[in-house]
Each structure stands twice: as structure tokens, then as C-alpha cells.
């Protein structure tokens, strides 16, 4: 999937938006950032994510019969083993949550 800027004139104006991101049941509480202490492979750290991501991580941990810290430790280990680490762990976690949600929701994700 390629992300880039749209050329001017090719996008609809805001008046023509067909998909409203603010669905009727939209909960602004999901946008609130929340800092939590977690252990990543034995080291205590603080991770700040919006509530919606903590909710997704909780569901992923439940499905995997583990804690959120264990799940995040797995993500941390795998990114070090496969890619030598990552500079923005919070960003990585957000993307992992989005990819998981798209897969579970039947969206198309090419990895």
C-alpha cells in the first residue's frame, strides 16, 4: 500500500465527504491519552497511548491468554529480532493495533 499526497483537484472538498468519521456512537473518551506502566522484557517503562489502543491491546492479550505487558514484550522482542529495534515504540504499537483491527474486521491489509 502506498501513502502519499493527493494532487490538487483530485480530492473532493470537505462538503463532498461521503464517509463521516464521527459515527453516531463516537466516544471522545477513546481519544484521551492514558499513560500506563508496563514491563517490557523485565524492564519497567511508561507507555502513553489513547484509550482505544489500550482497549485493542486488552482484547489481543485476552485472545492470547496473556497480560498486556506480555503481549507488548513479545512485540518489543520481535521488532528487535526482525528489524533491529524501532525508534518510536508507541507508534509501532498503534500500527500493530490498527493492523490487528483491520484483519479482525475483514479489512484488506497487505503485510
Determine how many CB atoms are found less than 10 A away from the CB of residue 68. 17
Per-residue model confidence as pLDDT tens digits over 9-60: 556 566 666 777 777 777 888 888 999 999 998 999 999 999 999 999 999 9
Strands 43-50 and 33-40: antiparallel
Give the predicted TM-score (pTM) of the model.
0.75
Fold of 32-104: Ribbon-helix-helix fold (1.10.3990)
Q: Of the given ranges (29-33, 65-69, 86-90, 102-106), which has the lowest mean pLDDT?
A: 102-106
Percent over 70 (pLDDT), the chain: 78
- What local confidence, expressed as pLDDT, does residue 75 receive? 96
Q: Which residues does 60 contact at the CB level (< 8 Å), separation at least 6?
A: 71, 97, 100
- What local confidence, expressed as pLDDT, does residue 4 receive? 43
Domain coordinates of the chain in residue numbers? 32-104
Q: How far apart are CA 95 and CA 88, in angstroms?
A: 11
Q: What average pLDDT does range 59-70 have in this prediction? A: 95
- What local confidence, expressed as pLDDT, does residue 111 receive? 46
Amino acid at each position: 500500500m502506498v501513502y502519499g499526497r493527493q494532487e490538487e483537484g483530485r480530492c473532493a472538498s470537505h462538503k463532498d465527504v461521503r464517509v463521516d468519521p464521527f459515527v453516531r456512537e463516537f466516544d471522545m473518551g477513546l481519544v484521551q491519552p492514558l499513560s500506563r506502566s508496563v514491563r517490557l522484557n523485565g524492564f519497567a517503562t511508561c507507555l502513553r497511548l489513547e484509550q482505544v489502543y489500550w482497549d485493542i491491546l486488552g482484547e489481543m492479550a485476552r485472545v492470547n491468554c496473556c497480560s498486556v505487558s506480555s503481549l507488548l514484550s513479545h512485540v518489543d522482542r520481535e521488532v528487535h529480532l526482525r528489524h533491529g529495534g524501532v525508534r518510536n515504540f508507541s507508534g509501532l504499537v498503534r500500527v500493530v493495533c490498527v493492523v490487528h483491527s483491520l484483519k479482525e474486521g475483514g479489512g484488506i491489509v497487505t503485510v
